[in-house]
Amino acid sequence: MKNTKMAIVVGMALVIFLAGCNAANQGKIKVGAILPLTGSSSIWGENEQKGISLALEDLKAQGIENVEVITEDSQSKDAPAVTAAQKLISLDDVDLIYTSLTGPSIAVAPVANSSGKLHLYKAATQVPINNFPENSLKTGYYNYEIDCSVFGELLAKNNYKKIAYVAAKKDFSTECKRGIANSAPSVAIDEYSYEVSNEDFMSILTKIRESEYDAIVITGYNADFLKFYSKMSQLKINTTVLCAGSEDCLSENPDLMPLGMVYFGAYIDNNFKEKLLAKYANMSILEQSIAATSYDMVRFVSEAYSVCPSRQRECLKKAIQDSKLDTAIDSEGFQGGSFLKLKVRLFEVNETKGVIELK
């Protein structure tokens, strides 16, 4: 009896899987997108989907319908991302894989590589392009070493001697610190590391208040920054803050952000912004920038496919690297390299709590 039960269960499972095995869609290139639809980073997944939808609509309006995107959930974790990748590669027969977030991107890279499927990803990490240079391209998100060096220049320009570095325990913090040290070698950096989402910053800020710092540089995510700003305000700390979190640094409530805070970010193309807000009202700048990068990914793929009807990996990769696409998020293209160079600008929160561009 138990053997029959087991057989029925496994049989049912097989039937469900077979049902999902759809006939190959000739004529369209298939992208398997593994997004954090649920879990700790679900705000990314939600907005990436919006970017993808908008891109497909826009292409259709131009008469181009050559991309199909199949989305799976990474749950913001690595093992489910690998499961999703396996399903997309074997069941759905995708031509390339797109992942976002550091953990899933690192975990999926070897899987994509051994199946010969080009791996596009958007995350802060450089690990996939370092480990699998022939199979990976970083199509989005900042390069912390390069972008934080702009902070370093600012620190050097203002002759700052000692800074507090409030660092999230993530690899981009290490890269950012390197970037700062590169362009401001004489600045003393005191590091205070914290666990993302699990820190109330009371002790860190109490310690910071005791020492005299010229500036505070902070890395992390939006939820952490908001807590940090509110505790800074409570403890009446007025030190200048340099936020290395791009649009995550912004708060919907402008009173919350420290005066004079500086962050680096990229411009979002106005045209794209209008279309996005027309379709989805109420998107914050952070959400818009998330949507912009996946929007661009779809367009890169569409363009590459028109150049490479063979869908061959090397051809697609080269086509994307050589692309002159006018991206929704201001960039300088791949410049023949493995990652998209974003045009990063510095922004500052001024007295009227508006955001203005520096220099």
Partner 1 sequence: MIEAYLIHLLILIGIYVILAVSLNLALGYTGLLNLGHIAFFGVGAYTSALLTKSLGVPFPVAFIAAGLFAGLFGFILILATKKLKGDYLALATLGFSFVVYSLLLNWTSLTKGPLGIPGIQKPSFFGLAISSNVSFLIFVAIVCVVSCFIIYKIIKSPFGRLLEASRDDEVGLKVLGKNTFKLKAKAMIVSAFFAGIAGSLFAHYISFIDPSSFYITDLILILTIVIAGGIASFKGSIVSTFIIILIPEGLRFFEMPSSILGPARQIIYALILLGILMLRPKGLFGRVDLE
Partner 2 sequence: MIFNQLLANSLIIGSIYALVACGFSLIYSTNRFMHLAHGASVVVSAYMLYWIFSVLGIPFWLSCILTLIIASAVGFGMYRLVYLPLQKKKSSNVILLLASVGILILIENLVLLFFGADVKTIGYIQVQKGMEILGAVITPLQVFIIIVSVILLVALYIFMKFTRLGRNMRAVADNKELAGIMGINYKRIAGFSFIIGSFLAGIAGILIGLEQNLEPTMGLNLMIKGFTGAIVGGITFVPGAIIGSYLLGIAENFGIWWLPSGYKDAIAFILLFIFLLFKPSGIFGIDKGIKK
Instruction: Report the residue from 28, 87, 227, 345 that binds partner 2 according to the rule CB under 8 A.
Output: 227
| DSSP category for residue 340 | -
Instruction: Work out what residue 217 binds among partner 1, partner 2, none; the CB cut-off runs from 5 to 8 Å by kind.
Output: none
Closest to partner 1 by CB, 20 vs 133, is: 20
Which is closer to partner 2, CB of 175 or CB of 199?
A: 199
Q: Which residues pair with 182 in a beta bridge?
A: none
In whole angstroms, how close is the CB of 193 to partner 1 at the nearest point? 8
Residue 210 CB, shortest distance to partner 2, in Å, is 6
Q: Binding pattern to partner 2, positions 131-170, x when CB under 8 A?
A: --------------------------------------x-
Provide the binding-site residues for partner 1, judged by CB under 8 A: 2, 5-6, 9-10, 13-14, 16-21, 35, 37-39, 42, 45-46, 49, 71-73, 75, 77-79, 82-83, 86-87, 89-91, 93, 103, 106-107, 110, 127, 131, 169-171, 195-196
Q: How distant is the alpha carbon of residue 243 from its chain centre? A: 16
Q: Which of 234, 306, 335, 350 binds partner 2 (CB under 8 A)?
A: 234
Q: Is residue 204 within the footprint of partner 2 (CB under 8 A)? A: yes
Which one of partner 2, partner 1, none interacts with residue 306, CB within 5 to 8 A by kind? none
Which CB atom, from 195 or from 322, has the smaller least distance to partner 2? 195
Contacts of 268 (CB under 8 A, 6+ apart): 285, 288, 289, 292, 328, 329, 330
Residue 334 is which amino acid? F
Q: Is 193 in the site for partner 2 (CB under 8 A)?
A: yes
Kindly indicate which of the ranges 89-97, 102-110, 120-128, 218-226 contains the residues binding partner 2, using the contact rule CB under 8 A: 218-226
Contact range with partner 2 by CB under 8 A, out of 187-195, 289-297, 298-306, 336-344: 187-195
Q: Are the CB atoms for 213 and 198 separated by under 8 Å? A: no
Say which residues have a Cβ less than 8 Å from residue 307's Cβ, sequence separation at least 6. Answer: 315, 319
Cα separation, 113 vs 344, whole angstroms: 30
Question: Taking the complex as a whole, how short is the minimal distance between the CB of residue 184 and partner 1, in angstroms?
Answer: 24
Nearest-approach distance from CB 233 to partner 2, in angstroms:
5
Rounded Cα gap, residues 291 and 280, in angstroms: 11
Contact with partner 2 (CB under 8 A) among 114, 130, 158, 203: 203
Piece in contact with partner 2 (CB under 8 A), picked from 66-74, 206-214, 239-247, 350-358: 206-214
The binder of 312, among partner 1, partner 2, none, by C-beta within 5 to 8 A per type, is none
Of residues 11, 5, 81, 94, the one with CA closest to residue 39: 81
Query: Do 45 and 37 contact (CB within 8 A), yes or no?
Result: yes
Q: Where are the alpha helices (DSSP H) in the chain?
A: 2-20, 42-61, 78-90, 102-114, 127-131, 144-157, 171-183, 202-210, 222-234, 270-279, 285-307, 313-321
All residues at 6 or more sequence positions from 111 whose CB lies less than 8 Å from its CB, including other chains: 82, 85, 86, 89
Minimal CA–CA distance to 96: which of 53, 66, 135, 41?
135
User: How many CB atoms neighbour CB 145 within 10 A?
Assistant: 18
Closer CB to partner 1, 169 or 209, in the complex: 169
Longest dimension (CA), the chain: 79
Residues of the shown chain interacting with partner 2 in the complex, contacts defined by CB under 8 A: 38-40, 42-43, 169, 192-195, 197-200, 202-204, 206-207, 209-210, 222-223, 226-227, 230, 233-236, 253, 255-256
